[in-house]
Structure 1
Amino acid sequence: MERTLSSDLLFQNSSEESRTSFPLRVISNLMLWQRRIASRHQLARLDARLLADAGISEAQRCEELSKPFWR
């Protein structure tokens, strides 16, 4: 005899997973945003010589710095 899972059980498991993973996704996003903010602050402090060493043009720097932290 073959055993099957009811759709109710599958739905409950997926909703439980989404409830526990939601806080993790929020924390993960906050950490990502913080890293972006920090790296853009560092990028803003680079002088022309360091930008050239990194292979970044002034236009690329301006483009990156103009982005909001969530992008």
Structure 2
Amino acid sequence: MKGQQGFIGTSHQAHSEHHASWLAAAWHTIRRWEQLAYEREQLARMSDEMLKDIGLSRGDVMEESERHFWEDPLKK
């Protein structure tokens, strides 16, 4: 019976770790979405001269700012 109790405890621990891992991944995703929204907002506020300095046009910025918050250009 001792072995069974340890098995149940281990199973519960694995479930808890999986749950914690899932929550961490969800939190990371939400933070990334916030970061994308912030960066797109900052790009939209830049002057045409500033955009030219970084090699972007107003059209590039408009296209990027119209994307949905969950559209991450770094995720393929």
TM-score computed with the length of structure 2 as normaliser: 0.68
Cα distance in 2 for residues equivalent to 1:58 and 1:46: 9
Alignment-mate amino acid for residue 57 of structure 1: S
Q: Give the fraction of aligned pairs with identical amino acids, expressed as a percent.
A: 27
Q: Establish whether residue 55 from structure 1 lines up as the match of residue 26 from structure 2.
A: no
Within a 5 Å distance, the mapping from 1:1-71 to structure 2 comes to 12=11, 16=15, 17-71=17-71
Cα distance in 2 for residues equivalent to 1:44 and 1:62: 7
Task: List gaps (5 residues or longer) in structure 2.
Answer: 1-10, 72-76
Cα distance in 1 for residues equivalent to 2:39 and 2:19: 31
Q: Tell me the matched-pair count.
A: 61
Cα distance in 1 for residues equivalent to 2:67 and 2:18: 30
TM-score computed with the length of structure 1 as normaliser: 0.73
Which 4+ residue blocks in structure 1 deviate beyond 4 angstroms?
Answer: none
Cα distance in 2 for residues equivalent to 1:58 and 1:48: 7
